[in-house]
Amino acid sequence: MKRRLLDLLCCPRCRGALGLRTVRVAVPGPAGPTGRDPVEEVVEGILSCSACGRTYPVLGTIPRLCPEPDPSERVALERLTAGRDMIVEPLPEAPRDPYARIEELVRAKSALPPNAGEYCRRWVEKDVQFRVRKCEEQDKYANTLRQHFDRRPETLLDVGGGQGGLIKCLSERLRPVLSVMVDCDLEWAEVARLRCPDVEIVRADATCLPFRSDAIDLVVSQAMLEHVEAHDVALDELSRVTKAALLLNWGPTRFSVYDLGHLDAPVTLLPKGVARHVAFLWHRLRRTGVTMKAIDDGLRTTFYVSTPHVRRRLACHGRVRNVFPEFMAFSLQSDYAYNLRGVREVLRRHPVLTSLLLSSIAALHVEPNGYFLLEKGPGGGTGD
């Protein structure tokens, strides 16, 4: 982490101010590191809360700011606390081909058992290709934002940023002074760091974000909310740290009926005890080879939230706009399609029909994915 990040951070428990004691710091060499911001980085250190006294480690340049550290972080914190002398070392050069290492990490994280069926293998291969390179093709988010957020943000935060594709795209298009990405998964954080060496990576929980209130000009979150059981708490936290605007994407939504991308079955309206059997029967009929264990794992980590519910929660914090129609219009203009390529081609050829269809879907609250923009400030309300 760079020291400037400290201006935004707070204790995830009590929101008190954090102080930093560095244990290991990396400094730029005479010519500066290749592809890196030539500013010293704190490689290891201790963040201490001035209010409650809790401490959190910085390990491998990543502040670990979950309220409850995992066992390895507790051990590292004890080691750092016992240290006395600060170690100074040169900043490492950026790898010549970061995408080779990114693909290696993504494939390791997405590995299937040897007896996996052909359907699962095709799905995972498509997912790997997306996570390695295609996840950076996110101009549809930048174009949607420009419709309502027409200024350069000083600070940009991506919550649940995963492999770092969205934060890289928005950082290049919007050019904020400081870009930050949060994820609780350290394997994805490593992928994001390789992809975006100048983005600050923080390990944290979306339900207790370690940022000061109204600290971030622009907050974005893509495909994270559906994996948080306490989604109302996460919505309040996203709104709390937002200073000007929040762009939120999640899905599948509850009223969309069909879960495309997680369970690939018509289960969003069903209780989970029923949904597991419906999904299993659905995949048996399609002969996909998806097991009950895979279905249970998917249901355990996926929560279907309706667009009216999210709108009501966000409306407590400012003006809310449903930007699903315009986001989808920009999405149809892009060359890349992760799903339903044939449907997208038909819609692209009939723009008037497409506009009417997208508006109707939003009015009926049956969007397959939700896209909301929260604008904070004077005059906030429920929006359109």
- Tens of pLDDT along 167-204? 999 999 999 999 999 999 999 999 999 999 999 999 99
pLDDT confidence band for 336 (50 / 70 / 90): low
Specify if 165 maps to a domain: yes
Average pLDDT in the chain: 91
Whether residue 101 lies inside any domain: the answer is no
Question: Above pLDDT 90, what percent of the chain?
Answer: 78
Which of 55, 90, 125 is the last residue before a domain boundary? 90
Residue 23: CB atoms within 10 Å: 21
The mean pLDDT value for 78-85 works out to: 86
Taking only the tens place, the pLDDT of each residue in 302-321 is 999 999 999 999 999 999 99
CA dihedral 27→30→31→35, nearest 10 degrees, is -10
The per-residue pLDDT for 300 is 96
Cβ atoms of 269 and 257 closer than 8 Å: yes
**Residue 32 predicted with pLDDT over 70:** no
Strand order in the sheet with 87-90: 62-63, 55-59, 41-49, 18-27, 87-90
Domain boundary among 246, 275, 300: 300
Q: 295 with 163, same domain? A: no
Distance CA 27, CA 159 (A): 28
Burial class (CB in 10 A: 0-12, 13-18, 19+), 248: buried
Longest dimension (CA), the chain: 68
Structure confidence at residue 117 (pLDDT): 85
State the average pLDDT over residues 316-337: 87
The domain that contains 198 carries what CATH number? 3.40.50.150
> Are residues 225 and 334 both part of a single domain?
yes
Q: How far apart (Å, rounded) are the C-alpha atoms in residues 208 and 194?
A: 26
Least confident residue range of 32-41, 288-297, 352-361: 32-41
Within-domain flag for 102: no
- Residue 349, domain member (yes or no): yes
Euclidean distance between CA atoms 252 and 369, whole angstroms: 5
Q: Is residue 290 part of a domain?
A: yes
User: Could you list the residue range(s) of the whole structural domain that residue 275 is in?
Assistant: 263-300
How many CA atoms are closer than 13 Å to the CA of 332, on its beta-carbon side?
19
Residues 237 and 168 in one domain: yes
Distance separating alpha carbons of residues 130 and 351, to the nearest angstrom: 27
Q: What is the dihedral angle through the alpha carbons of 155, 247, 170, 264, rounded to the nearest 10 degrees?
A: 140
Position 92 confidence tier, pLDDT thresholds 50, 70, 90 = confident
Q: What is the reported pLDDT for 261?
A: 86
| 275 and 318 housed in the same domain | no
**Could you give the residue ranges of the DSSP H alpha helices within the chain?**
71-82, 98-109, 118-132, 139-146, 165-174, 186-195, 231-241, 272-286, 292-300, 307-315, 324-333, 341-349, 351-363
Task: Give Cα 217 distance to the centre of its chain.
Answer: 17
Is there a domain that residue 125 lies in?
no
| Antiparallel, parallel or unpaired: β 370-375 and 242-250 | antiparallel
Residue 9 pLDDT more than 50? yes
Final residue before a domain boundary, out of 90, 113, 148: 90
Least confident of 72-86, 198-212, 277-291: 72-86
**pLDDT given for residue 206 in this prediction:** 97
Task: Please state the rounded mean pLDDT for residues 213-232.
Answer: 97
Alpha-carbon distance 161 to 181, whole Å?
6
How far is the CA of 242 from the CAs of 18, 46, 132, 148, in angstroms? Answer: 19, 26, 29, 15
Q: Give 3-state DSSP helix, strand, coil % of the chain, rounded to 5.
A: 40, 20, 40
At 68 the pLDDT is 87
CA-based nearest residue to 165, from 102, 211, 215: 102
Measured in whole angstroms, how far is the alpha carbon of residue 293 from the centre of its chain?
A: 26
Instruction: Return the half-sphere exposure (C-beta side, CA atoms, 13 A cut-off) of residue 254.
Output: 13
String of DSSP letters for 176-244:
-SEEEEEES-HHHHHHHHHH-TTSEEEE--TTS--B-TT-EEEEEEES-GGG-SSHHHHHHHHHHHEEE
381 has pLDDT over 50: no
Residues 153 and 47 in one domain: no
Is 120 within the bounds of a domain?
no
Record the tokens describing residue 40, joined without a space.
């010293």
Q: Are residues 55 and 157 in the same domain?
A: no
Q: In total, how many domains does the chain have?
A: 3
Q: Would you say residue 119 lies in a domain?
A: no
The pLDDT value given to residue 125: 92
- Output the six-digit token pair for 65: 């700011």
Same domain, 283 and 352: no
Q: Examine the domain organization and report whether 172 and 28 are in the same domain.
A: no
Confidence of residue 339 (pLDDT cuts 50, 70, 90): low
pLDDT over threshold 70, residue 340: no
Q: State how far the Cα of 168 lies from the Cα of 166, in Å rounded to an integer.
A: 5
Same domain, 221 and 314: yes
pLDDT (0 to 100) of residue 113? 85
Q: Is residue 242 packed enough to be buried (19+ CB in 10 Å), middle (13-18) or exposed (0-12)?
A: buried
Same domain, residue pair 156 and 242? yes
pLDDT at position 250 is 98
Rounded (10°) angle between helices 272-286 and 292-300: 140
Q: Which of 194, 133, 142 is CA-nearest to residue 165?
A: 133
203, 321: one domain: yes
Amino acid in the structure at residue 255: F
Same domain, 225 and 365: yes
Q: What is the model's pLDDT at position 93? A: 81
pLDDT exceeds 50 at position 384: no
Residue 383's pLDDT is 44
